[in-house]
Amino acid sequence: MSEYHGIHIEDIFNSMKARFRPEGAAGVNHTFGYDISEEGKWRLTVKDGDMSLEKADDLSSCDVVMETDGATFVGLNIGKVDAMSALTAGKLKIRGDVNTFGITSKIFQKYVPPGAETTQEQELIALKQTISVDQRFATGPVMGKFLQGLKNKTILAIKCPSCGRLQSPPREACAICRVRNDEWVEIGPKGEMRMMEYCYYASPDPLTGETRETPYGAIGILLDGCQGEEVFWHLLRPDQLDRVQMGIVMGDRVRHGTRLRPVWAKNRTGSVFDIQYFEIDE
């Protein structure tokens, strides 16, 4: 058995029983696999507030499996290696749900290397707070007119009297020409998909803490009547992510993107989600 950072891997596994926290394991019912290259495989079963650990040849029955090397594994346990960094660098792989593996940090007390028990670290205070304030936003006349338009299933753009470009959502002025926009034009509602951000990772909404389901597609649509960079930003119907093509203009090369149409919400309140999403126009 090799040593990493002066610690035997067996020490970490053998001490698991002593470090087990039944209160942290309450309600947890999972099998965790540890596949440490050149060292061996272990299967940890946590069930009914108890645990068992065994060496195993086959981890395929486990809910989640960690694959890593000895140095990374020991490093993670003694706090020398950051899990996110190891994951990023490909030194740590998780088969199954990463968050499930994260539960183990609640189930076990931190591993303390033999001999290090007596050196007491200073307690460092960290305060957790949430700022929560109510806000009010005035739409103003221009954004207000646009949002009211959505209620009536129309998508409005505003036109620059100088350069003629369209903006939707609209803005009061054309920032390039520095003039007030004054003409309203109805655009779309159908158009061509130009750009899609195929999002595998969703940031939690800081207002609700909810995370959008992934994958999702944030798209730029060139609505009929628009040109060039005048794209409209919205979402794609979630089950159609793999069926669409982006349009592109690169020098003389022009490729048209998939034709899309809006799916209107039943109850429209003058918000971005008066359009549920765009879907393939077929």
Partner 1 sequence: MQKTVDSADAYVIDGKLALPYSYFAGRVGSTFITALRDSRQILGVRCEKCHKVFVPPRQTCEKCMADLRENWVTVENTGEVINFTVVRYSDRHLPREAPYILAMIKLDGADTPMVHILDEVKSEDVKAGMRVEAVYSENTTSTILDIDHFKPVS
Partner 2 sequence: MGYRKKNRHVGIVGVGETKFSSHREDVNQAEMIHEAVRQALDDANLTMDAVDCVVHGNMELFEMIHQPDLWHTLGSGSYGKEAFRLTTGGTTGGTLACSGDNLAASGMYDVVMAIGFEKLQEGHTTGGITNMADPLWARKLQSGALTDSTAVKLIEEFGADRARRAAMTYRIIMDKHACLNPNSHRAFGLEWDQMDELMETSPPLIGDLRLIHMCSQSDGACVVIFASEEKAREITDTPVWVRDHITVHREETLNLCNNYYPTDTTHRFAAEKLYERNGITDPLEYFDVFEMYDPSAWWGTDWLKEFFLLAGDAHLKLVEDKEIMIDGKMPINPSGGVIAANPIGATALVRVAEAAKQIRGDAGPHQIQKPVNHALASAFGGTMWTVLTMLEKELNW
Q: Which residues bind partner 2 (CB under 8 A)?
A: 82, 84-85, 87-91, 93, 124, 126, 129, 131, 135, 137, 139, 143, 147, 167-169, 171, 175-176, 194-206, 218, 220, 229-231, 233-235, 246, 248, 250, 271-273
Q: From residue 90, how far is each of 7, 15, 22, 68, 256 by CA, in Å?
A: 23, 27, 32, 9, 37
CB closer to partner 2, 43 vs 168: 168
CB closer to partner 2, 203 vs 267: 203
- Interaction of residue 96 with partner 1, rule CB under 8 A: no
* Main-chain dihedrals φ then ψ at residue 23, nearest 5 degrees: -65, -30
In angstroms, rounded to a whole number, what is the distance separating the alpha carbons of residues 91 and 105? Answer: 19
Q: Give the interface size with partner 1 as a residue count (CB under 8 A).
A: 29
- In the region spanning residues 206 to 225, those forming contacts with partner 1, defined by CB under 8 A, are 206-207
* Nearest CA among 242, 219, 151, 232 for reference residue 187: 232
CB closer to partner 2, 103 vs 199: 199
What six digits make up the tokens of 65?
């499996």
In angstroms, rounded to a whole number, what is the distance separating the alpha carbons of residues 213 and 177? Answer: 40
CB closer to partner 2, 16 vs 174: 174
Beta bridge partners of 68: 36, 92
- Interaction of residue 162 with partner 1, rule CB under 8 A: no
What six digits make up the tokens of 128?
């957790």
- In the region spanning residues 181 to 200, those forming contacts with partner 1, defined by CB under 8 A, are none
Pairing of strands 50-55, 40-47: antiparallel
Give the shortest CB-200-to-partner 2 separation in angstroms: 4
* Main-chain dihedrals φ then ψ at residue 3, nearest 5 degrees: -110, 135
CB closer to partner 1, 207 vs 254: 207
* Nearest CA among 250, 257, 255 for reference residue 236: 257
Give the shortest CB-54-to-partner 2 separation in angstroms: 28
- In the region spanning residues 50 to 89, those forming contacts with partner 1, defined by CB under 8 A, are none
Q: Residue 271: how many CA atoms within 13 Å on its side-chain side? A: 8
* Contact partner at residue 118 from partner 1, partner 2, none, CB < 5 to 8 Å by partner kind: none
CB closer to partner 2, 12 vs 147: 147
- In the region spanning residues 103 to 142, those forming contacts with partner 1, defined by CB under 8 A, are 122-142
What is the binding site for partner 1 (CB under 8 A)?
Answer: 122-142, 144-145, 147-148, 206-207, 270-271
